[in-house]
């Protein structure tokens, strides 16, 4: 049994030094009655005279596009097509499963579960990914459940990247890749997807890597490459041929792959998702990251997982166990129920993994038509639930003389003046490549049709005002 501390302070003449309290035979209540003022006075003086600096690994990592633009959106009460979350209900079987987990007869579902993943959930994930990877996936050693895909990524960077290591990041990239690389002591090396027909209507497939440029980024310092397919914000679904080119370079230079595949089910127009870990020779060097938030439209649950071979998983698991340790049991139980249901109907139109993209494709097309109508040039995505659009033909004067990229100025103007929130696409590019994206802004279309029509009404009203 743990006993309460009854004597933690020094005698009155000793008080405290640098915030450390020394043992005393005086009763605790007497100490506080006699010495609280003097002790806190000394502590305040020390704190006032000492500047506590943050860790060097945080240098350059304090800014965040989401913090800045979400605050601006809330301030102006703007229609939010910036953030990537649905404004409609998730499938009821997962929400009912969550209620059952919390209120049902198994009271232990409200307590800690296995640190590396709730047994029912990792078994369901292993069954699914054994099918998807066409190889046995061990639920106990090849699956790690995390606090969102964000934590999966963080554990990958912290588990493998050492000071001096280089990490190749394909642009556009989800903005956490760069600070996670730097926080681990690594150096990000960027290579952009470039539009093949800038200034015209395109699909996301028409944004391509230059193989020679990509290979030029590999060196003896390269430890890992990060790829996101389907890509956020572009919606590009990398083809098998493109992934084979990337995989061959990773094998040639002995490089790990962090494969961010959170939008793996969101595919349109018959496109197929190729998992880079399934290519020859890639399972042993790939960590694949997925998300329950994207899979079941429950982004607020913050539940993700990593699938990887034993020899890689042990390193990310070690970091997880000393950071988050375990994730919310009821949420894991509910996700497991969802996977168990969908495993029985993977090839059926009733499967949510197929039903969701079928529902989203008309929304994508509606948004694209609305953007074209006001003079923007949308890039039609082949996957995901984001769309970027070229606004450069509109000739908008934002009145902003700062040195920010054009898209940042335009998005802030839209939020302030039109109460319409999007995200600047240059936020997904490095400083040296922001010019590739500064004519584009990102829209989210995983929204109710009524929300998208409101967006269209705002855009149409704006177009009318331009003619006056």
> Do residues 338 and 331 make contact, with C-beta atoms less than 8 angstroms apart?
no
**Residue 30: pLDDT above 80?**
no
300 and 433 share a domain?
no
What does the DSSP assignment read for 422-457?
A: -EEGGGGS-GGGGGGTTTEEEEE--S-HHHHHHHHH
247 and 131 share a domain?
yes
- C-alpha 260/C-alpha 232 separation (Å) is 10
Instruction: Report if residue 59 sits inside a domain.
Output: no
239 and 332 share a domain?
yes
- C-alpha 79/C-alpha 88 separation (Å) is 15
Task: Find the domain containing 15 and state its range.
Answer: 1-52
**Residue 394: pLDDT above 60?**
yes
Instruction: Report if residue 170 sits inside a domain.
Output: yes
Instruction: Give the per-residue pLDDT at 16.
Output: 40
Q: What pLDDT band is residue 108 in, cutting at 50, 70 and 90? A: very high
Tell me: the pLDDT tens digits for 70-83?
999 999 999 999 99
Tell me: the pLDDT tens digits for 334-384?
999 999 999 999 989 999 999 999 999 999 999 999 999 999 999 999 999
Instruction: Give the per-residue pLDDT at 31.
Output: 38
Instruction: Report if residue 58 sits inside a domain.
Output: no
Instruction: Give the per-residue pLDDT at 8.
Output: 36
How many domains does the chain contain in total?
3
* Cβ atoms within 10 Å of 117's Cβ, excluding its own: 26
Tell me: the pLDDT tens digits for 399-454?
787 889 999 999 999 999 999 999 999 999 999 999 999 999 999 999 999 999 99
Say which CATH number the domain at 266 has.
Answer: 3.40.640.10
Instruction: Give the per-residue pLDDT at 66.
Output: 82
Instruction: Give the per-residue pLDDT at 45.
Output: 54
Under DSSP, the state recorded for 113 is: -
In degrees, rounded to 5, the angle at the alpha carbon of residue 405 between the alpha carbons of residues 399 and 406 is: 50
Instruction: Report if residue 307 sits inside a domain.
Output: yes
Instruction: Give the per-residue pLDDT at 414.
Output: 94
Instruction: Give the per-residue pLDDT at 14.
Output: 39
100 and 239 share a domain?
yes
Higher pLDDT, 209 or 467: 209
Element (H, E) at 166: strand 166-171
Instruction: Give yes or no for a cis peptide into 408 (omega within 30° of 0).
Output: no
156 and 245 share a domain?
yes
Q: What pLDDT band is residue 109 in, cutting at 50, 70 and 90? A: very high
Distances (CA, A) of 6 to 24, 25, 32, 168: 10, 9, 12, 55
98 and 77 share a domain?
no
Instruction: Give the per-residue pLDDT at 50.
Output: 61
Q: What pLDDT band is residue 20 in, cutting at 50, 70 and 90? A: very low
Element (H, E) at 9: none
271 and 133 share a domain?
yes
Please, how many CA atoms are within 13 Å of residue 208, restricted to the half-sphere of its CB? Answer: 13
* Cβ atoms within 10 Å of 400's Cβ, excluding its own: 13
272 and 403 share a domain?
no
Tell me: the pLDDT tens digits for 198-238?
888 999 999 999 999 999 999 999 999 999 999 999 999 99
Instruction: Report if residue 57 sits inside a domain.
Output: no
Distances (CA, A) of 409 to 354, 403, 430, 433: 38, 9, 17, 17
> Do residues 226 and 180 make contact, with C-beta atoms less than 8 angstroms apart?
no
317 and 186 share a domain?
yes
User: At which of 324, 343, 362 does a domain end?
Assistant: 343
Higher pLDDT, 53 or 450: 450
- Identify the burial level of 134 via C-beta atoms within 10 angstroms of its C-beta, where 0-12 means exposed, 13-18 middle and 19 or more buried: exposed
Between 64-68, 264-268, 369-373, 446-450, the lowest mean confidence (pLDDT) is in: 64-68
> Do residues 236 and 193 make contact, with C-beta atoms less than 8 angstroms apart?
yes
359 and 456 share a domain?
yes
Instruction: Report if residue 436 sits inside a domain.
Output: yes
User: At which of 343, 366, 381 does a domain end?
Assistant: 343
- C-alpha 415/C-alpha 77 separation (Å) is 9
User: At which of 281, 309, 343 does a domain end?
Assistant: 343
131 and 193 share a domain?
yes
Average pLDDT, the chain: 90
User: What does pTM read for this prediction?
Assistant: 0.88
> Do residues 444 and 179 make contact, with C-beta atoms less than 8 angstroms apart?
no
**Residue 33: pLDDT above 70?**
no
Q: What pLDDT band is residue 63 in, cutting at 50, 70 and 90? A: confident
Q: What pLDDT band is residue 7 in, cutting at 50, 70 and 90? A: very low
**Residue 122: pLDDT above 60?**
yes
> Do residues 233 and 442 make contact, with C-beta atoms less than 8 angstroms apart?
yes
Instruction: Report if residue 76 sits inside a domain.
Output: yes
Q: Which residues contact 102 (CB under 8 A, 6 or more apart)?
A: 109, 110, 330
> Do residues 181 and 169 make contact, with C-beta atoms less than 8 angstroms apart?
yes
195 and 184 share a domain?
yes
Percent of the chain with pLDDT over 90: 80
Higher pLDDT, 11 or 425: 425
Say which CATH number the domain at 429 has.
Answer: 3.90.1150.10
Instruction: Report if residue 380 sits inside a domain.
Output: yes
């Amino acid at each position: 049994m743990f006993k309460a501390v009854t004597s933690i302070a020094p005698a009155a003449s000793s008080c405290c030094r640098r915030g450390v309290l020394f043992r005393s035979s005086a009763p605790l209540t007497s100490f506080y009655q006699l010495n609280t003022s003097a002790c806190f006075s000394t502590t305040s003086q020390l704190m006032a005279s000492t500047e506590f600096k943050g860790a060097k690994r945080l240098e350059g990592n304090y800014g965040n596009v989401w913090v800045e633009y979400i605050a601006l959106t809330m301030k102006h009460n703007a229609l939010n097509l910036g953030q990537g979350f649905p404004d409609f209900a998730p499938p009821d079987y997962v929400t009912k499963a969550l209620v059952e987990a919390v209120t049902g007869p198994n009271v232990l579902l409200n307590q800690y579960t296995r640190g590396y993943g709730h047994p029912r959930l990792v078994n369901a994930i292993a069954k699914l990914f054994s099918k998807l990877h066409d190889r046995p996936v061990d639920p106990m050693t090849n699956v790690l459940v995390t606090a969102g895909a964000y934590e999966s990524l963080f554990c990958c960077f912290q588990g493998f990247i050492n000071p001096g290591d280089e990490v190749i990041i394909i642009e556009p990239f989800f903005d956490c890749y760069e600070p996670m690389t730097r926080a681990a002591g690594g150096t990000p090396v960027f290579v952009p997807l470039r539009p093949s027909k800038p200034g015209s209507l395109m699909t996301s497939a028409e944004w391509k890597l230059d193989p020679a440029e990509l290979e030029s980024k590999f060196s003896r310092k390269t430890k890992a490459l990060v790829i996101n397919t389907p890509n956020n914000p572009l919606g590009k679904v990398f083809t098998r041929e493109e992934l084979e080119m990337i995989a061959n370079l990773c094998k040639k230079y002995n490089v790990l792959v962090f494969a961010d595949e959170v939008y793996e089910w969101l595919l349109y127009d018959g496109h197929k998702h190729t998992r880079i870990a399934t290519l020859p020779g890639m399972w042993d060097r790939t960590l694949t990251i997925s998300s329950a938030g994207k899979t079941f439209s429950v982004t607020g649950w913050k539940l993700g997982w990593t699938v990887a071979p034993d020899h890689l998983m042990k390193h990310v698991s070690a970091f997880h166990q000393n950071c988050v340790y375990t994730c919310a049991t009821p949420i894991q139980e509910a996700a497991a129920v969802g996977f168990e249901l969908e495993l029985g109907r993977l090839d059926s139109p009733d499967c949510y993994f197929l039903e969701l993209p079928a529902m989203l494709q008309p929304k994508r097309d509606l948004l694209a038509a609305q953007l074209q109508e006001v003079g923007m040039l949308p890039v039609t995505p082949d996957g995901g639930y984001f769309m970027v659009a070229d606004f450069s033909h509109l000739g908008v004067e934002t009145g902003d003389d700062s040195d920010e990229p054009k898209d940042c100025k335009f998005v802030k103007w839209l939020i302030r003046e039109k109460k319409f929130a999007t995200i600047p696409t240059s936020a997904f590019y490095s400083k040296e490549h922001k010019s590739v994206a500064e004519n584009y802004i990102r829209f989210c279309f995983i929204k109710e049709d009524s929300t998208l029509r409101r967006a269209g009404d705002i855009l149409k009203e704006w177009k009318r005002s331009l003619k006056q």
